[in-house]
Structure 1
């Protein structure tokens, strides 16, 4: 295993997203000082720059060629975080998960960057069949077949600071509405992964550079969707009424909402994935990376009640 100095240059693609924002907090907390953040989302990149003026930020679309590739010169490691997660059109997923990745891999090869940490997703081993799943499978395959020394991390559904979607959106929605709808009985088992715990895994991979390893990183708490909602409600001290809606009606309402929203916070495809019945089996983070995961209730409280970053929300 190679090891890198904490002053070594690290390049993060898709750095202004959920994982990237949390990863920069964690990297700096662990003493890393030479960080380059690349992202095409101007508003989110602005948040990153405001929070971390010491980090070099580059506003660039990775699916297009440009001077952003120069930033890879002299890098000890690239962390590939960029991903299209939601969207209405296949072309968006192809452009941002496949085309952009090809350009990043070319830049790594051109500048002889010795190591890549690729952030994949648990969906690549799930039963889901949608644009996100299929393009993430292709993206991971590109990395594995690239010949670049690398490791792959496959996280499950994540939550934490800065989250504009998923549990973050549900948390904010619950605070605004007197009634919170749940599809069916809500007994859909989830294994949510706390973002800060996942970032600790990434930092360990950056520092030790295990070659060719694939890590399935799963939240070690198995909890039903309805109980996640109740945990958020309790952590925030809310009095919101939780109401169960028949699955078919819930699905219809999501499709109807998507007709009027360019970026629906929760889609019919995500509802299907929620109820697909996947159960993931991941690594023991204590044995592999040397730390125990944060208890779920504590992680929820820190995510949505901690004054440091809980009020900062990214745009989608």
Structure 2
């Protein structure tokens, strides 16, 4: 396979210090890419990225504000747009990071005539959910489509993997600290969790092949109920924490109460609604489309929570 972008080319990655970015940069360095430029506004998580990836150019920048970071796009062969607000209270952080920052980044890409963009959207654009994350991710994807920039779009489902500060990573750490782990209702809420390393391999394929105008729904290849995910984490970490089921309404109002005392709740009432919305996503066969064999869920969980190099590292939210 001959990549269309030489491995020494400048590739700018926005939102590089998040879950996808941290895993992607490790993978791209393993593949021999040497011109990576990592942009993010989260200083502590950028320090993790620097420590794990010596030699990568790291720039701390708030992409919702014009600044010196814009010059990093000069001469870039490609932009990988990963930045997104995933959790938060109220509309403002979602609008600022998913809409305002994207508008500015797209303008900078056009000004510097960067030839290709890989945009990381989300499966929620196909969701029945109605919340700030879903609505702003839909708007963000439309901004990319309307920009006129050659691009492809990837829409992943719920992801898990090394460094996860939210989702399964947070749940696993919560399970270690509490005397009993609560589950809303019966817990039989079907999920399609996507292993982050598999998703990063898909991104790398798009870097190498630049499928202009393509949109790919990237879905975890196994359907797993939420309660079974929790039991899988418990087994992988060798925990003894009992799992208890709470009535849905009680769980919902406990989340509302928690949000009154936390500016960054890891799990919100809106996310509980999304968890139980009954979404069943369909996606491309990544083995047939990209030549990537999906990692079995049980194996991916084991790698995520037992790897001696990275399992102990959690990003800040």
Residues 153-194 of structure 1: per-residue CA shift (max 9 Å, x gap): 000000000001000001111122231100000000000000
Does the alignment pair 1:274 with 2:275? yes
Higher alpha-carbon deviation: 250-259 or 87-96: 87-96
Which residue number corresponds to residue 172 of structure 1? 173
Which residue number corresponds to residue 139 of structure 1? 140
State the shift of 1:35 in Å: 0.4
Report the 3-state secondary structure (helix = DSSP H, G, I; strand = E; otherwise coil) of the residue aligned with 2:38. Answer: strand
Does the alignment pair 1:244 with 2:248? no
- Give the whole-Å Cα distance in 2 for the aligned partners of 1:89 and 1:45: 26
State the shift of 1:53 in Å: 1.8
- Give the whole-Å Cα distance in 1 for the aligned partners of 2:163 and 2:99: 25
Report the 3-state secondary structure (helix = DSSP H, G, I; strand = E; otherwise coil) of the residue aligned with 2:89. Answer: coil
Does the alignment pair 1:7 with 2:11? no
State the shift of 1:91 in Å: 1.3
Does the alignment pair 1:20 with 2:21? yes
Q: TM-score of the superposition, structure 1-length normalised?
A: 0.99
Report the 3-state secondary structure (helix = DSSP H, G, I; strand = E; otherwise coil) of the residue aligned with 2:261. Answer: coil
Which residue number corresponds to residue 287 of structure 2? 286
Q: How does 1:162-201 map to 2 (within 5 A)?
A: 162-201=163-202
Q: Unmatched 5+ residue regions in structure 2?
A: none
State the shift of 1:3 in Å: 1.2
Which residue number corresponds to residue 117 of structure 2? 116
Does the alignment pair 1:260 with 2:261? yes
Which residue number corresponds to residue 90 of structure 2? 89
Which residue number corresponds to residue 308 of structure 2? 307
Residues 251-280 of structure 1: per-residue CA shift (max 9 Å, x gap): 010000000111111100000000000000
- Give the whole-Å Cα distance in 2 for the aligned partners of 1:147 and 1:286: 30
State the shift of 1:86 in Å: 0.8
- Give the whole-Å Cα distance in 2 for the aligned partners of 1:2 and 1:229: 40
Report the 3-state secondary structure (helix = DSSP H, G, I; strand = E; otherwise coil) of the residue aligned with 2:149. Answer: coil
Residues 14-55 of structure 1: per-residue CA shift (max 9 Å, x gap): 100111001001111111111000000011011111111210
Report the 3-state secondary structure (helix = DSSP H, G, I; strand = E; otherwise coil) of the residue aligned with 2:79. Answer: strand
- Give the whole-Å Cα distance in 1 for the aligned partners of 2:90 and 2:275: 20
Which residue number corresponds to residue 36 of structure 1? 37
Report the 3-state secondary structure (helix = DSSP H, G, I; strand = E; otherwise coil) of the residue aligned with 1:265. Answer: coil
State the shift of 1:2 in Å: 8.0
Residue correspondences, number: 316
Q: Given that residues 152 and 213 in structure 1 are in contact (C-alpha distance below 8 angstroms), is that contact kept between their aligned partners in structure 2?
A: yes
- Give the whole-Å Cα distance in 2 for the aligned partners of 1:299 and 1:214: 25
Which residue number corresponds to residue 296 of structure 1? 297
Q: Given that residues 2 and 209 in structure 1 are in contact (C-alpha distance below 8 angstroms), is that contact kept between their aligned partners in structure 2?
A: no
Q: Given that residues 178 and 239 in structure 1 are in contact (C-alpha distance below 8 angstroms), is that contact kept between their aligned partners in structure 2?
A: no
Report the 3-state secondary structure (helix = DSSP H, G, I; strand = E; otherwise coil) of the residue aligned with 1:78. Answer: strand
- Give the whole-Å Cα distance in 1 for the aligned partners of 2:9 and 2:238: 43
Report the 3-state secondary structure (helix = DSSP H, G, I; strand = E; otherwise coil) of the residue aligned with 2:253. Answer: helix
Find runs of 4+ consecutive structure 1 residues off by over 4 angstroms. none
- Give the whole-Å Cα distance in 1 for the aligned partners of 2:173 and 2:10: 36
- Give the whole-Å Cα distance in 2 for the aligned partners of 1:145 and 1:290: 30
- Give the whole-Å Cα distance in 1 for the aligned partners of 2:308 and 2:112: 40
Q: Given that residues 81 and 118 in structure 1 are in contact (C-alpha distance below 8 angstroms), is that contact kept between their aligned partners in structure 2?
A: yes
Report the 3-state secondary structure (helix = DSSP H, G, I; strand = E; otherwise coil) of the residue aligned with 1:261. Answer: coil
Please report the RMSD computed on the Cα atoms of aligned residues, expressed in angstroms: 1.0
